[in-house]
Chains A and B, each alone.
Chain A
Amino acid sequence: MNTTVLVVEDEQDTAELLKQLLEREGFSVLHAGDGRQARTLIDTIRPPSLVLLDMVIPYVSGFELLRVIRRHPDWQLTPIIMLSADDYEPDIQQALREGATAYVTKQKGSAGLLQAVKRVLPATPPQDQIVAQAGSAAPPTRRVSVQHRLRGNQRKKRAA
């Protein structure tokens, strides 16, 4: 299976590192260097298997892109790992509340990121399967389960 990852990252050295890291693991990589490029890709290509989305990027913020993707009819089920140089807790909570699948701080290096990618992707059906099911009445079962558990987790946190 050729799994494609969209990397949205403006810092060129970091983008090159992510590209090399992911390609070494067998992924195909698309890169958007800012929010506008990412929006163009979202509007013109089929969804990838995963989006790595930097929080702070020019023109359109990571949060805005997160919302765009979650509202997009074809992309809304795509797993998104938010990347950030910060571990500011309100941002982490907001990202997860608005639909990020995971949040990874850049300080944890390439090993930490790869660990997150491998945790997110094995549980996710390839996006071409999701798109193929998009016309049916029921959304993909596995993703529903993920969303359900995510909401459940948030409810538990609020109750705690």
Chain B
Amino acid sequence: MKPILMSSIKNQDKTTDTRLIGEEPMEYTQPKEIGAEGEELVHIDASFEPLIPKFLTNRKKEVVTMQAALAAQDYETVRTVAHGMKGAGGSYGFDRITDMAAVVEQAAKTGDASTIERDLPALGSYLDRVKVVYE
């Protein structure tokens, strides 16, 4: 068995592509899907439905935590919370959360307060308007 790198890309048909170590990394992007009322839609496996409300509530709390940490110039807290959010978002399939948390994490590493100030409200706004479609 070769070591496996599951660094893969959701394609249009939502399958996953497995790459082995040594191949070139590929970009990952999740296209926005907008609902009838302008909300952003995320498709989630229906079996995870009981977990989603708590997941979203905890992410909103984390935004508040990061805002407080930013006000105290506690970049390490911002970084660690954003790092956790980045992983949790990906695990659940909320790739926009992952993308935005990654930007905040990177900004916290360099003490870039202006980027964090700009992106945390955007992250909070996304959490408020995202709509989950269970399938």
**Contact residues of A with B, CB < 8 Å?**
10-14, 16-18, 20, 24, 54, 56, 83-85, 87, 92-93, 96, 100-113, 115-116, 119-120, 123, 146, 149-150, 153, 157, 160
Contact = CB atoms under 8 A, between A and B. Distances in A.
Nearest to B9: A108
A17 to B, nearest CB: 6
Interface string B19-36: 001100100100000000
Contacts of A24: 47
Nearest to B95: A107
Contact of B91 (A18, A100, A116): A18
Contact of A17 (B2, B7, B91): B91
A87 B45 CA distance: 24
Contacts of B72: none
A105 B51 contact: no
B3 interface: yes
Given A111-B14, A113-B91, A119-B18, 11 more contacts: A13-B58, A13-B92, A14-B92, A56-B83, A85-B83, A92-B21, A104-B6, A108-B8, A109-B92, A120-B4, A150-B3
Nearest to A55: B87
Interface residues of B, number: 35
A13 B51 contact: yes
Given A18-B91, A56-B83, A116 B4 contact: yes
Contacts of A101: 1, 3-4
A107 B90 contact: yes
Contacts of B48: 17, 20, 110
8 contacts: A13-B55, A24-B47, A54-B87, A107-B28, A110-B92, A113-B91, A116-B18, A149-B1
Q: Which of B5, B18, B55 has the most CB of A within 10 A?
A: B5
A6 to B, nearest CB: 17
Contacts of B95: 107
Nearest to A85: B87
B93 A110 contact: yes
Given A105-B90, A115-B18, A92 B83 contact: no
